A = this chain, B = another copy of it.
């Protein structure tokens, strides 16, 4: 078979899904939906490699994935075929043939996530699916200052839900910002990679600082001690969106 390698960019509203990664017989994952359509199209087994997993309820504006298939269809035809059979909450916004060595997970250079918090006791009825909701006033100024403690290379073991690591837990954060847009507080972070639940725990830690329940210095203590118990809570998946992946 003449297998060609493809790269695609995917958007999804993760509300209804059990995350990105196919799990056994569970069809209700983003990866599973995409693979089953490509298998129907090609008539052969297809394995899609995402840039990384996103958890249950997490969204993506720019998830990237790669896969190899045997097809005579053009890039545009494959993209149209996918969008025709995908549900309304998953879309392939870009698809092109890639170098045969391109691998969406192994070649990642940088990933950017945003965590959105709606800071009001009045729900945002049009965007509540994509935001965590907090009624008490959040002061973003101490969050902005504290967020800079995440910059650079650190051991993020204390900011992960995983207990026993087999691989390195050192990661680099290139940029991080906290901004208020009206009633919404948005945390954006770019790094070379993130451990399991790390962005949600970073957001939870910063939120506690914004609510006056925690000192900025505690972030340095979590890095030192690698103690998960000293970091903030893991915020809900619904507030998290994988914004982009760079290669």
Taking CB atoms and an 8 Å cut-off, the chain A residues in 13-36 that contact chain B are 13
Question: A126 to B130, Cβ gap below 8 A?
Answer: yes
- In the complex formed, the residue of B with least CB distance to A241 is B126
Contact of B11 with A91 in the complex, beta carbons under 8 Å: no
Residue A12 interfacial (CB < 8 Å): yes
> In the complex the two chains form, what is the Cα distance from A79 to B130 in whole Å?
24
Are B12 and A80 interface neighbours, CB within 8 A? no
Contact B125 A80 (CB under 8 A): no
What is the CB-to-nearest-CB distance from A238 to chain B, in angstroms, rounded to a whole number? 10
User: A128: which B residues are within 8 A, CB to CB?
Assistant: 88-89
Tell yes or no: A121 within 8 A of B by CB: yes
- Of all chain B residues, the one with the shortest Cβ separation from A90 is B125
How would residues 167 to 183 of chain A score, 1 for a CB under 8 Å from any chain B CB and 0 otherwise?
Answer: 00000000000000000
Q: Please, how many angstroms separate the alpha-carbon atoms of A61 and B86 in the complex?
A: 29
Residue A152 at the B interface, CB < 8 A?
no
Are A88's CB and B13's CB within 8 A? no
| Contact status B11-A126, CB under 8 Å | yes
Whether B13 lies near A122 (C-beta < 8 A) is no
Docked Cα-Cα span, A80 to B123, in Å, equals 11
Q: Does A124 contact B (CB under 8 A)?
A: yes
- The residue that A123 contacts in the complex, of B83, B124, B125, with Cβ under 8 A, is B83
Contact with B along A184-207 (1 / 0, CB 8 A): 000000000000000000000000
Contact B125 A89 (CB under 8 A): yes
Q: Which of B89, B90, B92, B122 contacts A93 (CB 8 A)?
A: B122
Q: Please, which residue of chain B has its CB at the minimum distance from the CB of A86?
A: B123
Measured between beta carbons, the chain B residues less than 8 angstroms from A130 are 126
- Name A88's closest neighbour in chain B (CB-CB): B128
Contact, CB under 8 Å: B11 / A83: no
Chain B minimum-CB-distance residue to A79: B122
Please name 13 pairs of A and B residues whose Cβ atoms are closer than 8 Å in the assembled complex, sorted by A: A11-B125, A12-B125, A61-B126, A83-B121, A83-B122, A84-B121, A88-B128, A89-B128, A90-B125, A91-B123, A91-B124, A93-B122, A126-B130
Other A-B contacts than A61-B126, A86-B123, A91-B124, 11 sampled, CB-CB below 8 A, are A13-B125, A59-B126, A79-B122, A83-B123, A88-B123, A89-B128, A91-B122, A91-B123, A91-B125, A92-B122, A93-B122
Residues of chain A at the chain B interface (Cβ within 8 Å): 11-13, 59, 61, 79-80, 83-84, 86, 88-93, 121-126, 128, 130
